[in-house]
């Protein structure tokens, strides 16, 4: 919590305390004998209210400043001793000095004891609340930094593997179909530009993300033995929507990495549907049951997506990941932001 906000909160607290005791003392003073009496011109009333406010500020800042200091240094006994002396003996001594020994002194000491301890607890509470707010802010900041670091790590892990395979496929195409090889190089260039530049934004247009995804699919199709191995469908209007980058692609990369031989049909199914501002993403791939290391190497990527979804789209997404009968299926629903 910023220092200026803390100062404002403290200032408002003590203005409120002063005003409260100003009115209490004015009421307890009885009706003034003078008809023209105005409490707002009574400097004695101001002085008593200020003194009471300053007196209560002592236990408050004892709890606010010294309590966390002493507890951090494992000096709980010292804290208890000071609290007993200040919270118990101090009000008794003040009452005796003011009224001497008597019923009024006892009653006054009880009131002083109550108020001093209330403000001591209030000081501790204020510090705890401010501390919690600051810890929450730092935690969120650290989590965001970790997510960005994990996203960067994900990119560095995926790029070399994908780049090597794609360049090998394009190299083969150069001798078979130069036009297709040239278009594939353009797509690869677009992918690298997107991953190295555009992906650093918190949100990108859905159009950019879809283009990146389709470029990736086009390059992956270069190595497929059967054109019908991939079943991809996109429906709905997405031009006015934004999405956090690289939400869907790790699931698709995982599908290609761990799918069965590409000579099969419908080995991978990818369905993307956009209804108003909601994304429905389904990715299925056939996999070998004996492949016990199915998630090895991509665990970081999938876990990063989960964390990013929870952080960016908390309470605005549904994700289910399951495998059954040699089919690995991902179903993701996300409420997207509009431009």
Domains of the chain: which residue ranges?
Answer: 3-136, 177-338
What Cα–Cα distance (Å) separates residue 28 from each residue in 16, 22, 32?
A: 18, 10, 11
Mean pLDDT of the chain: 79
- The predicted structure's pLDDT at residue 76: 65
Closest CA to 234 of 190, 274, 276, 202: 274
Tell me the average pLDDT across 138-151. Answer: 68
Please give the residue that has the higher pLDDT: either 107 or 182: 182
pLDDT digits (tens, 9 = 90+) for 55-82: 888 888 887 887 776 666 666 676 667 6
pLDDT tier for residue 294 given thresholds of 50, 70 and 90: very low
Instruction: Tell me the CATH architecture of domain 177-338.
Output: 2-Layer Sandwich (3.30)
Beta strands in the chain (DSSP E): 204-205, 230-235, 241-243, 268-275, 278-286, 317-324, 327-335, 337-338
Tell me the average pLDDT across 229-235. Answer: 95
Please give the residue that has the higher pLDDT: either 320 or 138: 320
* Separation CA 245–CA 194 (nearest Å): 9
Q: Token digits for 256?
A: 């290609």
* Separation CA 311–CA 89 (nearest Å): 51
* Separation CA 335–CA 312 (nearest Å): 11
pLDDT digits (tens, 9 = 90+) for 9-56: 889 999 998 988 888 878 776 555 565 677 777 788 888 889 888 888
Q: Token digits for 267?
A: 């080995």
pTM listed for this prediction: 0.57
8 A C-beta contact, residue 313 and residue 203: no
8 A C-beta contact, residue 304 and residue 246: no
């Amino acid at each position: 919590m910023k220092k200026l906000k803390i100062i404002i909160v403290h200032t408002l607290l003590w203005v409120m305390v002063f005003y409260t005791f100003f009115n209490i003392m004015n009421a307890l003073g009885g009706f003034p004998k003078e008809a023209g009496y105005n409490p707002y011109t009574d400097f004695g009333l101001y002085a008593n209210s200020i003194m009471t406010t300053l007196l209560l500020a002592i236990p408050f800042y004892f709890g606010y400043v010294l309590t966390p200091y002493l507890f951090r240094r494992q000096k709980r006994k010292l804290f208890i001793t000071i609290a007993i002396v200040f919270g118990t003996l101090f009000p008794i001594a003040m009452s005796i000095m003011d009224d001497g020994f008597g019923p009024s002194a006892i009653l006054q000491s009880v009131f002083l004891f109550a108020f001093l301890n209330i403000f001591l607890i209030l000081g501790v509470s204020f510090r705890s609340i401010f501390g919690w707010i600051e810890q929450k802010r730092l935690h969120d900041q650290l989590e965001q930094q970790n997510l960005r670091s994990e996203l960067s790590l994900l990119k560095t892990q995926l790029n070399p593997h994908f780049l090597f395979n794609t360049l090998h496929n394009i190299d083969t195409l150069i001798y078979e179909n130069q036009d297709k090889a040239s278009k594939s190089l353009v797509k690869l260039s677009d992918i690298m530009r997107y991953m190295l530049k555009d992906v650093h934004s918190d949100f990108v247009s859905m159009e950019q993300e879809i283009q990146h995804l389709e470029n990736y699919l086009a390059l992956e199709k270069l190595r497929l033995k059967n054109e019908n191995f991939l079943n991809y469908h996109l429906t709905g209007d997405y031009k006015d929507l934004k999405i956090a980058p690289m939400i869907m692609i790790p699931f698709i990369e995982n599908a290609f990495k761990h799918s069965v031989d590409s000579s099969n049909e419908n080995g991978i199914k990818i369905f993307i549907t956009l209804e108003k501002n909601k994304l429905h993403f389904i990715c299925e791939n056939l996999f070998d049951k004996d492949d016990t290391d199915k998630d090895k190497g991509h665990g970081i990527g999938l876990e990063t997506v989960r964390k990013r979804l929870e952080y960016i789209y908390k309470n605005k997404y549904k994700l289910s990941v399951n495998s059954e009968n040699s089919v690995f299926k991902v179903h993701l629903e996300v409420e997207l932001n509009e431009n």
